[in-house]
Amino acid sequence: MLKNLPLPELEEWCVSVGEPPKRAKQLYRWLYGNRKWIRHLDQADSDAQAFSGAFKAKVAAGASLAGGLQLQSVHTARDGTRKLVFALVGDWEGGDGPAGSARGTVETVLIPMTNRQGQNLRYTACLSTQVGCAMNCQFCYTGRMGLLGNLTTAQIIEQVVEARRYLAEQEVQIPIANIVFMGMGEPLHNYDAVMAAIEILATGLELSRNKIIVSTVGLVPEMRRFIASGRAKLAVSLHATTDEVRDWIVPTNRRYPLDELLGALREAFPYDKRKGDDFVVIEYVLLAGVNDTLADAERLLALTSDIYCLVNLIVFNPHDGTQFKRSSDEDVRAFRGVFLRAGRPCTVRASKGDDEMAACGQLGDVNLSPRPAPLLRPPEALAARLAAGVSGNMAVQP
């Protein structure tokens, strides 16, 4: 699949079939160029830069322009957020099925954004990197699926290509200006495919480093590699201020506890050496009675005091079967106020698309999973607080 290949590798492939390296750039323009997005080489025939019959034969003999996804449905929320649901087709790296099987669906979200003046409307595309997720964050609907498989680079990139095709067909003049890897899956758990996709986004789809954010729950070795690459901006899903709570709601913390995770961020983003927009985004979903107290806010302020970061608070978006509740508006304001009074930047992410299960933490389909991920037992200190919100038929594991 040629869409798996960043430009240098595509140049190598062209040379391997007897073509000059410049053929790769020609392909890139037609695969990713504005309002081109071809599915097969014949679509370029009417252009002066059309492909020769000999080259078409070489592609037909051993390559494909397919992206491994087929747009299945689009769900538009009241606020204009669009959730695109794709069926997986062709070869993909399935978790349990053989190569070549197509299992499940993957979702992409187009989020309408404006500047502070309510102008310059554009979309942020929230991309998925896996079918399901292995991290088992307790508040996340995708995490309930478990991991069903990794997406290929082509399938990651095709989400953007298909989204642009869809908007053009619908005569929507709003551009996709930003990319966030915050959809289904843990991006750094599919590291090589994601890094190749970022390279294609930059060279083929012409999106700069500052327009791409990759979010991780804190896979520290991969996170260090990602930071060193300098290819995109980083967001870290922290969500708790103590190991006791984070071990429960973000089980990855049992492998990489707060000291190790925050230590890596202090090394990479030292506050005393801050410069420009080279900061990390700290994501923090507020869960009523779990991590939203003033004590949590004070701890988070202290934990991040020597990290050059922006704290982004996320209002919890509920889903069927969850044991969590969203924090009250009053508690959100109070939590943020701790940062503002200290002169530290802290934003609240506007919840968009929640009426179509398109908001943060709502993507996926648990019914696709033969074995949903386990619900874990909360720490004893929190269990009583949550008891009223826990369904009697919810099985938990230690």
The SS3 of residue 239 is coil
End-to-end Cα spacing for the chain: 43
Catalytic residue status for 283: no
Q: Which of 14, 126, 137, 360 is catalytic?
A: 360
Verify whether residue 93 is a known catalytic residue.
no
Beta bridge partners of 347: 312
Q: Which one, of 59, 67, 68, lies nearest residue 41 by Cα?
A: 59
Answer for the pair 184, 132: CB distance below 8 angstroms, yes or no: yes
Query: Which of the residues 107, 186, 222, 283 is marked catalytic?
Result: 107
Helix 22-32 with 7-16: angle, nearest 10 deg = 120
- Local structure of residue 254 (DSSP, 8 states): G
**Beta carbons of 161 and 71 less than 8 angstroms apart:** no
Please give the biggest Cα pair distance in the chain: 71
The counts of H helices and E strands in the chain are: 11, 15
**H or E element: which one contains 261?**
helix 258-268
Are β-strands 82-88 and 396-397 bridged in parallel, bridged antiparallel, or unpaired? unpaired
Cβ pair 113, 121 in contact under 8 A: yes
Which residues partner with 74 through β-bridges? 84
Query: Could you give the 3-state DSSP secondary structure of residue 335?
Result: helix
Phi, psi of 60 (to 5 degrees): -60, -30
Catalytically active residues, by annotation: 107, 360
